[in-house]
Amino acid sequence: MTLIKSISGIRGTIGGPVKENLTPPDVVKFTTAYVRFIAARCHDKKPTIVVGRDARISGELVADLVEGTLLACGADVINVGLCTTPSTEMAVITYRADGGIIITASHNPRQWNALKLLNSDGEFLTDSEGKQVLAMAEEEDYAYPAINAIGHVVSREPFNDRHIAQVLALPTVDVEAVRKRRFKVVVDAVNSVGGIVMPELLRALGCEVVELNCEPTGEFAHNPEPLPQHLTEISQVIVREKADLGIVVDPDVDRLAFVSEDGSMFVEEYTLVAVADYILSLKPGPTVSNLSSSRALHDVTERYGCTYHAAAVGEVNVTTKMKEIGAVIGGEGNGGVIYPELHYGRDALVGTALFLTYLAKKGLTMTQLRATYPSYYASKNKIELTPAIDVDKVLREIKTRYANEQVNDIDGVKIDFPENWVHLRKSNTEPIIRIYTEAKSMEEADALAQRFITEIKTICQL
């Protein structure tokens, strides 16, 4: 199958040959390299690493391998068990650990798992740091510590409750305002760790919760990526239950999508837009999203007389840009909200609390709030990579063909036309070329996508 090493960590399918999949030897190899990288920054101090995982079927298997390897390398371990990605990040910060490993393949199907690697700030390693880890993984002269120098498990306790408390303590989260609205909310947690956390958060906010796919079995009830075509069940339940809204998270709870009271998609691109609208109303300042995100954030930011900035795809690229310009809010159009007042990481918990606060204060329904934003429609497509496809050649050719347009090549090629845009890039997480387009109608977005898919196939002679 596939083993992918990128800015998003070490990701692969379970089972199969070593070096081609995420097998036990591969888990040990990359965990060893990571802890060596972290230990080099700790000087003479024994490193402490936080380990958390989502509810994937392979999660316990991989977590045991990771924990054992960390101990064998002389690191102490804080094991937070079933834990969301943002909660694991917050645990690194709260415990002042030296790093963290999150065992999750995010939105990928059940056969996938991954090691997401964090620094001492609870943030993902940069591209250059990741490359150092990959280089160390290929070294064969490492000697593991003797018995007196092995690590110990410092604790095994959940952290999700502490994360919820930290979210609710934010000055921008008005718990009483949300409680007064008494929202009825349907939650679809795709049978992963969100099924533990999201209902608890919502009940703390005074919401009536209808649980859907909230058993953390790892048996995903539908494709785990929170896209409209995968969310027909929750739409039906919202209407049947006469709920105020629906909330959907991915398996590790860093992506957040909303569904309106009539069962229509609020659209995950607008998760960040709505939260940014709220934050900008309190504290005007710069905003950031990645190149594949909706133009709507740019429009809303300009309403407040503030400046919008684009970053390359990848959470660490967005957070780097946010720090550089002092952004008050940022994230990714896939439903990833990054609120620096809490931490620099995509966080569906803080996104939910901020969104519900804004919805409560505005006194609007979901469909009414959605109508206040510019209407753009995104078409997200992909082409499976084969040996016949030279991605770099494709991107160079496209860039040359459209040299007279507004082109950004910091991450693949994005072409901003006056009324729409297209972004072509090689995925960090799957063996595919992504073709994202956005326009003022779905038909126009789809047509633009098909036009570029045809161009790519022509260039590759497929």
Confidence class for position 349, pLDDT limits 50, 70, 90: very high
The answer to whether 194 touches 251, Cβ cutoff 8 Å, is yes
Q: Which pLDDT score, from 0 to 100, does residue 360 have?
A: 98
Residue-wise DSSP of 240-286: HHT-SEEEEE-TTS--EEEE-TTS-B--THHHHHHHHHHHHHHS---
Give per-residue burial for 194-205: e unless 16+ CB within 10 Å, then b. Answer: bbbbbbebbebb
318: left (phi over 0), alpha (psi -120 to 50) or beta: alpha
pLDDT value at 2 more than 90: no
- CA torsion, points 129, 135, 141, 146, in degrees to nearest 10? 30
Among 349, 352, 316, 346, residue whose Cα is nearest residue 333: 346
Q: Which pLDDT score, from 0 to 100, does residue 118 have?
A: 97
In this structure, the strands spanning 329-332 and 256-259 are unpaired
The pLDDT tens digits of the residues spanning 183-204 come to 999 999 999 999 999 999 999 9
Contacts of 283 (CB under 8 A, 6+ apart): 328
- Exactly one of 8, 58, 87, 106 is catalytic; which is it? 106
Among 67, 95, 91, residue whose Cα is nearest residue 151: 67
Whether 379 is catalytic: no
Confidence class for position 462, pLDDT limits 50, 70, 90: low
Q: Which pLDDT score, from 0 to 100, does residue 4 have?
A: 83
Q: Which residue has the tokens 């997480």?
A: 429
The tokens for 250 are: 């991915």
Q: Which pLDDT score, from 0 to 100, does residue 430 have?
A: 75
Q: Which pLDDT score, from 0 to 100, does residue 140 have?
A: 86
**Distance from C-alpha of 275 to C-alpha of 375, rounded to nearest angstrom:** 16
Mean pLDDT for the stretch of residues 146-171: 97
Contacts of 141 (CB under 8 A, 6+ apart): none
Q: 416: exposed, middle or buried (C-beta count within 10 Å: 0-12, 13-18, 19+)? A: middle
Q: Which pLDDT score, from 0 to 100, does residue 385 have?
A: 83
Phi and psi at residue 15, to the nearest 5° = 90, 165
Q: Which pLDDT score, from 0 to 100, does residue 87 have?
A: 98
Mean pLDDT for the stretch of residues 411-423: 95
**pTM metric for this prediction:** 0.93
The tokens for 211 are: 């649980």
| Helix or strand holding residue 169 (H, E) | none
Q: Which residue has the tokens 């690493």?
A: 49
Triad 407, 411, 412: Cα angle to 5°: 70
**Distance from C-alpha of 344 to C-alpha of 117, rounded to nearest angstrom:** 14
Triad 247, 253, 256: Cα angle to 5°: 40
**Distance from C-alpha of 12 to C-alpha of 114, rounded to nearest angstrom:** 6
What does the DSSP 8-state code read for residue 459? H
Residue-wise DSSP of 7-35: TTEEEEESSSSTTTS--HHHHHHHHHHHH
The tokens for 257 are: 């999508």
Three state DSSP letters for 224-250: CCCCHHHCHHHHHHHHHHCCCEEEEEC
pLDDT value at 217 more than 60: yes
Q: Which pLDDT score, from 0 to 100, does residue 276 have?
A: 98
pLDDT value at 397 more than 60: yes
pLDDT value at 244 more than 90: yes
Pure H helices in 19-114: 24-41, 59-72, 85-95
Q: Which residue has the tokens 């609208």?
A: 277
Beta bridge partners of 112: 13
The pLDDT tens digits of the residues spanning 9-57 come to 899 999 999 999 999 999 999 999 999 999 999 988 999 999 999 999 9
Mean pLDDT for the stretch of residues 418-438: 89
Whole-number mean pLDDT of the chain?
95
Pure H helices in 293-390: 296-303, 315-325, 348-362, 366-370
The pLDDT tens digits of the residues spanning 295-348 come to 999 999 999 999 999 999 889 999 999 999 999 999 999 899 999 999 999 999
pLDDT value at 404 more than 70: yes
Q: Which pLDDT score, from 0 to 100, does residue 110 have?
A: 93
Confidence class for position 5, pLDDT limits 50, 70, 90: confident
In this structure, the strands spanning 48-53 and 76-82 are parallel
**Distance from C-alpha of 438 to C-alpha of 376, rounded to nearest angstrom:** 6
Q: Which pLDDT score, from 0 to 100, does residue 41 have?
A: 94
Query: How many other C-beta atoms lie within 10 A of the C-beta of residue 404?
Result: 6
